[in-house]
């Protein structure tokens, strides 16, 4: 596919929609992390509201369930003083593009400034961005198996907090890469930020075709893949994929790919363990690891608010400047 | 009965190998005279064909007209106009209309509608199985008698190999051609893009190459066993070409076609999430495209078809995997084929053969030829004209083409079917 990344920017080159990490520059990703840092450091002292989006209306448009992501978007918008509306729409009612577009146009007619969209089909956020009015921003909160760019940015934020410099880092991602929008966005962000290597560890059934083309090194064996690694990112294994044609059983998966203290020994001593949540204890990760010293899983959740504040304020400013 | 004089065109006839400048006279629906000028022919219409090419009318092996069943997308009346403007004088209609072509009544309905639109040569392809459900055999004998030129299950899966075997045995009993679109249902389920780097990057459900090759190989074995004549439709992979070449060498009664857009676009041309690029089979790698082009030139792939699938706007509005597959492609059939000639992939004679004599042979029709006494099915086109695809120039109800607003070279100026001018 040829580039369509222009859609994310205003004619002045400002980030207006946040749909995918692909095509964003290292300096832009760094700017997002820096802005997030400023929100985070203030918030860590005292929870404070910023007036940046006062008078703006944001809709969290979730065609797919998610408590955590929606809550952090909700909190981020509230802390930026925006008015927030949460809409959960069952996918079945809008399985046709026509209906999706009708939904968007109906909401637009109510003078909405930003859509935060989650949808089960790859490309849904792009589709909406292509059809909204010029002064409306769209933020992708996860589309099908394509992208989850805000999750990737909060993961980058977490890595930077703990490891400072990206360039010497080896990062391992373990789990269902094939179906994971999180993994795709993480891999893009890590490569743009210039890490030394991205290792992906999974059985062939959970890897996409020509996986290496994503800019990764593939390992089928956890011990080999974890060697000398600074950051271990676990992916959630969806319930419906735990048994059947992709994997024989949960327990076999845990044996081969579940992150235990024993397997973690192959990574660097000071390696951190991340997980986008919600975690399946005893399936992809052992409780000792999830709750252990090296786990930064709960930090990721709290950083998620600052990162989403950064992205919302930056895109809204760009969209507003076009009016 | 119109008497037509076509003057001073470049006459190309793959059947006889003719490539000469001259005149053609049409009278009583038939070619009355060719090459030499007649002094006493009383023409009602004279077509000045200087700098134009005159060849047999095109035979399209797969064009969906959407009627009956999906007239919000297109109608027989709208699409035969597009066919006429594209030089196509014979259309084969896949059976996946609604209701599907599994009984003579639907065949009659299609025939009536076409005749009402003054289009005389439409060949419905009968359903291979009842309701295309892949479970029970259709009444193939009745379908053949009603005018079906072949049988096919279109894109619908056949439940298992036993049913496919029985269907092929039965079709072979009545010397019916099976048109088979090789694609394993389970391997391709819900896919919308070629399984490769691009689908991986964009997280699109994918259709692997093996969905086509494994289905093709299974069918080839059944051809060897049953003796059923099979035509493979819309081949998309280099490896399929290799298997078809081998099968032909070993003498199996098989033939194959490729959709015109597959000879031009690859996965890398697909604009992210633009449903107009959603086709089935999907656009594959550059290497596949090159192998497909070579295969047409070698004759391993016998024919080029339009695989015309017009859609209404709504069908293509949505996130990529949710849009309906298919390209509206009748009107790009000639210019995109000519561009292969300009790129030296095919000779002009080969290109015209892939649209005329080759498909006729596959269907068991008399080879279209510009001989005296033959029915006058002719296409006259200007190979140099550059035209833009836009609302003014486009006739199909479906505007779903990746080439929208692009400039293409080569345009049909006149189409004659059964001795009547149906376009121009």
Nearest to B254 by CA among B311, B177, B182, B313: B177
Class of domain B56-363: alpha beta
Contact A147 B314 (CB under 8 A): no
Contact A2 B272 (CB under 8 A): yes
CA of A70 to nearest chain B CA: how many angstroms apart? 21
Q: In the structure encoding, which two tokens stand for residue A127, read together?
A: 């589709």
Q: What are phi and psi of A201, to 5 degrees?
A: -125, 115
Q: What is the pLDDT along chain B (424 residues), one digit of tens a residue?
A: 689 999 999 999 999 999 999 999 999 999 999 988 898 999 999 999 999 999 999 999 999 999 999 999 999 999 999 999 999 999 999 999 999 999 999 999 999 999 999 999 999 999 999 999 999 999 999 999 999 999 999 999 998 999 999 999 999 999 999 999 999 999 998 899 999 999 999 999 999 999 999 999 999 999 999 999 999 999 999 999 999 999 999 999 999 999 999 999 999 998 878 999 999 999 999 999 999 999 999 999 999 999 999 999 999 988 999 999 999 999 999 999 999 999 999 999 999 999 999 999 999 999 899 999 999 999 999 999 999 999 999 999 999 999 999 999 999 999 999 999 999 9
Is B307 designated active site? yes
Contact B269 A2 (CB under 8 A): yes
Instruction: Indicate the domain borders of chain A.
Output: 5-147+302-320, 149-300
Give me the helix-helix angle, B348-355 and B286-298, nearest 10°.
90
- B274: closest chain A residue by CA: A127
Q: Which residues of B touch A140 (CB under 8 A)?
A: none
- What SS3 state is found at A10? coil
Interface of B with A in 273-302 (CB under 8 A): 273-275
Determine the number of helices (DSSP H) and then strands (DSSP E) in chain A: 11, 9
Query: How far is CA B422 from each of CA A125, B124, B380, B413, rounded to the nearest angstrom?
Result: 46, 20, 12, 11
Q: Which CATH number fits domain A5-147+302-320: 3.40.50.1370, 3.40.30.10, 3.20.20.70, 3.90.660.10?
A: 3.40.50.1370
Q: Which residues of B touch A214 (CB under 8 A)?
A: 200-201
Q: Which residues of B touch A145 (CB under 8 A)?
A: 203-205
Dump pLDDT digits (tens) for B194-232.
999 999 999 999 999 999 999 999 999 999 999 999 999
- B312: closest chain A residue by CA: A98
Q: Which of A1, A121, A147 sits opposite B319 (nearest CB)?
A: A121
- What SS3 state is found at B375? strand
B107 near B126, Cβ under 8 Å?
A: yes
Q: Which residues of A touch B323 (CB under 8 A)?
A: 97
Interface of B with A in 239-258 (CB under 8 A): none
Interface A:B, Cβ pairs < 8 A? 101
Q: What are phi and psi of B166, to 5 degrees?
A: -60, -40
Q: Which of A1, A96, A144 sits opposite B271 (nearest CB)?
A: A1
Q: Bridge partners of A149?
A: none
Report chain A's C-alpha Rg in angstroms. 19
Provide the sign of the torsion angle of the four alpha carbons A133, A136, A137, A142, taken in this order. negative
Q: Span A149-300: which CATH code?
A: 3.40.50.1370
Dump pLDDT digits (tens) for B80-93.
999 999 999 999 99
Nearest to A235 by CA among A213, A257, A217, A264: A257
């Amino acid at each position: 596919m040829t580039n369509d990344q222009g859609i994310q920017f205003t004619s002045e080159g400002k980030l207006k929609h946040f749909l995918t990490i692909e095509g964003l520059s290292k300096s832009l990703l760094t700017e997002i992390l820096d802005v997030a840092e400023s929100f985070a450091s203030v918030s860590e002292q005292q929870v404070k509201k910023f007036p940046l989006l006062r008078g703006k209306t944001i809709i969290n448009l979730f065609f797919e369930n998610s408590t955590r992501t929606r809550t952090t978007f909700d909190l981020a918008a509230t802390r930026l003083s925006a008015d927030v509306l949460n809409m959960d729409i069952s996918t079945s009612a809008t399985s046709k593009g026509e209906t999706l577009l009708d939904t968007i146009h109906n909401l637009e007619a109510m003078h909405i400034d930003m859509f935060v969209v989650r949808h089960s089909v790859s490309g849904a956020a792009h589709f909406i961005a292509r059809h909204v009015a010029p002064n409306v921003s769209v933020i992708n909160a996860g589309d099908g198996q394509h992208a989850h760019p805000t999750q990737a940015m909060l993961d980058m934020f977490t890595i930077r907090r703990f490891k400072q410099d990206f360039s010497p880092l080896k990062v391992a991602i373990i789990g269902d890469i094939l179906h994971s929008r999180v993994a795709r966005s993480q891999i893009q962000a890590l490569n743009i930020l210039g890490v030394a290597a991205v290792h992906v560890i999974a059985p062939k059934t959970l890897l996409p075709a020509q996986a290496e083309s994503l800019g990764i090194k593939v390992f089928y064996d956890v011990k080999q893949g974890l060697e000398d690694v600074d950051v271990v990112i676990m992916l959630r294994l969806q319930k419906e994929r735990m048994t059947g044609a992709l994997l024989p059983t949960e327990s076999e998966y845990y044996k081969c790919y579940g992150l235990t203290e024993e397997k973690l020994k192959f990574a660097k001593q000071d390696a951190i363990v991340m997980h986008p949540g919600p975690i399946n204890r005893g399936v992809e990760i052992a409780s000792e690891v999830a709750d252990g010293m090296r786990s930064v899983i709960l930090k990721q959740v709290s950083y998620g608010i600052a990162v989403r504040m950064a992205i919302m304020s930056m895109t809204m400013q760009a969209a507003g400047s076009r009016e | 009965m119109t008497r037509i004089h076509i003057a001073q065109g470049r006459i190309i006839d793959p059947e006889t190998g003719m490539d000469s400048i001259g005149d053609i006279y049409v009278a009583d629906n038939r070619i009355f005279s060719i090459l030499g000028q007649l002094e006493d022919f009383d023409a009602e219409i004279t077509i000045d064909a200087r700098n134009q090419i005159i060849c047999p009318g095109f035979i399209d092996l797969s064009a969906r007209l959407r009627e009956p069943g999906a007239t919000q997308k297109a109608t027989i009346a709208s699409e035969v106009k597009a066919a006429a403007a594209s030089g196509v004088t014979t259309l084969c209609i896949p059976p996946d209309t609604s209701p599907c072509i599994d009984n003579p009544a639907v065949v009659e309905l299609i025939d009536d509608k076409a005749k009402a639109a003054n289009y005389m040569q439409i060949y419905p392809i009968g359903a291979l199985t009842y309701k295309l459900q892949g479970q029970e055999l259709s009444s193939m004998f009745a379908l053949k008698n009603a005018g079906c030129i072949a049988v096919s299950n279109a894109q619908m899966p056949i439940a298992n190999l036993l049913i496919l075997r029985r269907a092929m045995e039965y079709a072979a009993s009545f010397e019916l051609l099976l048109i088979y679109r090789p694609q394993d249902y389970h391997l391709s389920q819900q896919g919308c893009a070629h399984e490769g780097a691009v689908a991986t990057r964009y997280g699109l459900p994918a259709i692997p190459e093996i969905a086509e090759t494994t289905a093709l190989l299974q069918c080839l074995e059944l051809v060897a066993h049953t003796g059923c004549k099979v035509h493979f439709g819309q081949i998309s992979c280099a490896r399929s070409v290799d298997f078809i070449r081998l099968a032909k060498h070993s003498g199996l009664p098989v033939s194959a076609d490729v959709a015109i857009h597959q000879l031009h676009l690859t996965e890398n041309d697909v604009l992210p999430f633009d449903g107009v690029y959603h086709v089935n089979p999907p656009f594959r790698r550059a290497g596949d495209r090159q192998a497909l082009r070579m295969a047409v030139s070698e004759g391993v792939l016998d024919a080029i078809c339009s695989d015309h699938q017009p859609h209404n706007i709504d069908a293509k509005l949505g996130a990529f995997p949710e849009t309906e597959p298919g390209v509206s492609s009748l009107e790009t059939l000639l210019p995109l084929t000519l561009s292969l000639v300009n790129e030296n992939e095919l000779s002009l004679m080969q290109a015209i053969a892939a649209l005329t004599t080759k498909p006729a042979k596959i269907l068991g029709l008399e080879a279209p030829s510009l001989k005296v006494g033959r029915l006058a099915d002719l296409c006259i086109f200007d190979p140099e004209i550059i035209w833009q695809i836009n609302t003014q120039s486009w006739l199909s109800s479906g505007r779903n083409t990746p080439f929208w607003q692009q400039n293409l070279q080569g345009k049909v100026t006149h189409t004659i079917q059964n001795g009547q001018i149906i376009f121009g």
